[in-house]
A and B are shown apart, each in its own frame.
Chain A
Amino acid sequence: MTEDPHFGFVVAAYLVGFLVVGGMTAAVMKDYANLKRALQKFAPGADADRSPDGPRPAQGANNAGESSPRT
């Protein structure tokens, strides 16, 4: 396999593949860690994935997760 004169192109393609896939995965995971850290400031000890006051009805388009607070 490695004796092929064009094997370098195969290696380069898979290297780019690992970089792109790894980069996308790392970016999404880093973003999640940053958001969790930022949300911890508002509710220390709370789990960022869970709503602080339970499920709410949908509020309409373009405000997912941004429903107005209950007073």
Chain B
Amino acid sequence: MTFMGNYANPTNFLRLARVLIPGLAALTCVLLTVGLYLAFFVAPADYQQGETVRIMYLHVPAAWLALFVYMDMTAAALGTLVWRHPLADAAQKAAAPLGAGFTFLCLVTGSLWGKPMWGAWWVWDARLTSVLVLFLIYLGLLALWRTIEDQGKAARAAAIFTLVGAVNIPIIKFSVEWWNTLHQPASVFRIGGPSISASMLWPLVVMAAAFTFLFATLHLMAIRNEILRRRLRRLSILAADADEVSLRSTPPSLETAR
């Protein structure tokens, strides 16, 4: 809690972001380069799917991040409503477009993987539909922030909406077990350990780490932007107030001369 308290101050957070962003960005670039090399030149083709399996190294990390970002936003929503942490709302607002981006990537790459393997771009099975619902929730949250002018009300409304939408996360995770789906069941995070070959698992782990660090980097940058946006708004209001005061204090003789 002391750590959280220290970085409740936006200036302290900006100082931390200045230090962390370059390092995280460099680590992301290294991991992405290594991950793509492993995915294309080290990992073998699948005995059934052939080369198409290489879409997995993009689709699965995007899917994990789609869920991870939403869980991050749920924690931030609790931070807004329960602990009233001053940066929780900024963190939640900054994460939403990134979550929408990863979910969109998951849906598109899934479709591009599904067409050659299933013979269909889209099927209304539980996993695909629940991920589509997640994407719509992200879009709904983005719309909410844009439509409510009062920032405090928008933050509370978005936090409540996020907490309600969190019910979709376990539905996505367990949809392949609860319903009979065309989508395959979990093959990495499962009781009994991963069921895929180590030669395919390691490139997947590296790509997932790369995507996680990519999100961490972009999230820090987006929170920094949000703090600057609020600072800009405050300065604009102060400047407008100062203009109004100077107009009121103008001598009446000058007013009539105009």
Contacts and interface: CB of A to CB of B under 8 A. Distances in A.
Interface of A: 1, 4-7, 9-10, 12-14, 16-17, 20-21, 23-25, 27-29, 31-32, 35-36, 38-39, 42, 48-51, 54-67, 69
6 contacts: A1-B45, A4-B45, A4-B51, A24-B97, A36-B228, A49-B228
Interface residues of B, number: 61
A52 B108 CA distance: 44
A51 B113 CA distance: 48
Interface of B: 5, 8-12, 14, 17-18, 40, 45, 50-52, 54-55, 58-59, 62, 80, 84-90, 97-98, 101-102, 104-105, 108-109, 112-113, 115-116, 151-152, 155-156, 214, 218, 221-222, 224-235, 238-239
Contacts of B239: 42
A32 B228 contact: yes
B9 A57 contact: yes
B8 to A, nearest CB: 4
A14 B89 CA distance: 33
Contacts, number: 148
A59 B86 contact: yes
Nearest to B153: A62
A32 B218 CA distance: 11
Contacts of A1: 40, 45, 51
B179 to A, nearest CB: 26
A38 B228 CA distance: 10
Contacts of B86: 58-64
Given A36-B228, A69-B238, A13 B113 contact: yes
Q: Which of A21, A49, A50, A56 has the most CB of B within 10 A?
A: A21
